[in-house]
Amino acid sequence: MGESQGSPRRGRKVRAAGTALAAALLLSGCSDSGDVPVLTWYINPDDGGQATLAQLCTEEAEGAYEIRTSLLPADAPSQREQLARRLAANDSSLDIMSLDPPFIPELAEPGFLAPVPEDVAERTTEDTLEGALAGAMWNDELVTVPFWANTQLLWYRESVVEEAGLDMDEPVTWDQVIETAMEQEKLLGVQGTRAESMTVWVNALVESQGESILANPEAPAVDLQTNLDTEVGSRAAEVISLIGSEGLAGPGVASMDENQSMLLFQGDSGSFMVNWPFVWAATNAAAEEGVVDEGLVDDIGWAQYPRVVEDTASAPPLGGINLGVGADSENQELAFEAIECIVAPENQTEYFITNGNPPSSEAAYEDPALEDDFPMADAIREALENAAPRPQTPFYNEISTAIQQEFTPISGVSAEQTPAQTDAFIVEVLRGERLL
């Protein structure tokens, strides 16, 4: 009897001791950096550049704060989903977030982002390139801080343009690009897969004609008006349709993303390609490893994004990452302090050199070290000045998905029907009359 009563008592003692030990361990774990506030920075995957910057700024802060990074999913839509869910659930761990520009209005509109203090806004956007600045705003207010910006260039094979007699110092049009590829029986590197890249392409074609996909981007869902069923939309669809119906992007265009179009461009039938600057570092690396022909790198040239209309400058796609602070973060002031450190021009230059992502700050391009690794840095800066963001609205995801569905596969795009169908589709979806 005595034994049977004694056992549970001993068990309780052991459990109590265990709990105390666990609590002590936990507390000591917390007090490890207890005095220094920890800022969590949700980063998109890169080559380690953001983690390095986090460490650098932690050191610079000299104990004022510590930045720890937390990795988001690989693709932008999944990043958006995770951030939106966390923000909607009032997660206070979202101190700093790396945000893709098209998703900013959707998070800013419901008040998920902490307002950027005026002085921070002033200091961090002094010399931000125009395109990048436009992508950081919502309702004429700066809601995020530009960190790095991205844009597409027209990449070409010197051998192909030489044979075609094209002067690449002068702006070229989509018609010229298509014609050259057809004449020489070469393939074009475009992104025809049903993904975000399709919206990027359609938007750039519309913006390059001086128009936008949305007539009133700040309107509520039921009042949003689209601009595709116009001559501008029809012309955009015509370019895509021609490439699709002539098979100019190769047989695998329906599943061709940025990486696939780069591989096509690197091949023997490559001629032109619209793509982000990552292709330069990737091609150089492939040449070094012997995966592609050594002479390929010398055969690659770059120019501004092709024009749709001969006398209107192109508006290249805008990408990149901006930094936002969660509205429920308990360390908002410190977070903005940390952001100021992260986006300092010298850090942006370093990030460009090490990770290949172009700066949003004009001053960051002045570093002569850039010239060696990125001889096209000036072209990127110029493109970023003209770059146009994708439709900036809280309903971007719906609009983008509708465009992707209607404009893929590109062989089925019709200049007469697709723009009108897309317009009708978007409006019906936004009014809740049909599914997406």
> With respect to another protein, which residue has the nearer C-beta, 113 or 342?
113
> With respect to another protein, which residue has the nearer C-beta, 109 or 229?
109
The strand pairing partners of 146, in sequence order, are 322
List residues near another protein by CB under 8 A. 77, 81, 84-85, 88, 106-107, 109-110, 112, 193-195, 251-256, 260, 263, 394, 397-398, 401, 408-409, 432-436
**Quick count: other Cβ atoms within 10 Å of Cβ 189?**
28
CB of 399 to another protein, least distance (A): 11
> With respect to another protein, which residue has the nearer C-beta, 48 or 409?
409
CB of 259 to another protein, least distance (A): 9
> With respect to another protein, which residue has the nearer C-beta, 297 or 436?
436
> With respect to another protein, which residue has the nearer C-beta, 351 or 407?
407
Residue 336 and residue 98 in contact, taking contact as beta carbons nearer than 8 Å: no
CB of 183 to another protein, least distance (A): 21
Using CA atoms, how far apart are residues 266 and 156, in angstroms rounded to an integer? 10
CB of 400 to another protein, least distance (A): 11
Report the 3 state secondary structure along the chain.
Answer: CHHHHHHHHHHHHHHHHHHHHHHHHHHHHHHCCCCCCEEEEEECCCCCHHHHHHHHHHHHHCCCCEEEEEECCCCHHHHHHHHHHHHHCCCCCCCEEEECHHHHHHHHCCCCECCCCHHHHHHHCCCECHHHHHHCEECCEECCEEEEEEECEEEEEHHHHHHHCCCCCCCCEHHHHHHHHHHCCCEEECCCCCCHHHHHHHHHHHHCCCCCCECCCCCCHHHCCECCCCHHHHHHHHHHHHHHHCCCCCCCHHHCCHHHHHHHHHCCCEEEEEECCHHHHHHHHHHHHCCCCCCHHHHEEEECCCECCCCCCCCCEEEEEEEECECCCCCHHHHHHHHHHHCCHHHHHHHHHHHCCCECECHHHHCCCHHHHCCCHHHHHHHHHHCECCCCCCCHHHHHHHHHHHHCCHHHCCCCCHHHHHHHHHHHHHCCCCCC
CB of 278 to another protein, least distance (A): 18
CA neighbor of 83 nearest in space, from 67, 69, 94: 94
> With respect to another protein, which residue has the nearer C-beta, 19 or 90?
90
Residue 272 and residue 154 in contact, taking contact as beta carbons nearer than 8 Å: yes
CB of 233 to another protein, least distance (A): 21
> With respect to another protein, which residue has the nearer C-beta, 361 or 404?
404
CA neighbor of 282 nearest in space, from 269, 270, 268, 296: 296
Using CA atoms, how far apart are residues 118 and 86, in angstroms rounded to an integer? 26
> With respect to another protein, which residue has the nearer C-beta, 1 or 435?
435
CB of 325 to another protein, least distance (A): 17
CB of 343 to another protein, least distance (A): 26
> With respect to another protein, which residue has the nearer C-beta, 360 or 408?
408
Using omega within 30 degrees of 0 as the cis cutoff, is the peptide bond preceding 409 cis?
yes
CB of 289 to another protein, least distance (A): 18
CB of 287 to another protein, least distance (A): 20
> With respect to another protein, which residue has the nearer C-beta, 77 or 117?
77
CB of 366 to another protein, least distance (A): 39
> With respect to another protein, which residue has the nearer C-beta, 289 or 311?
289
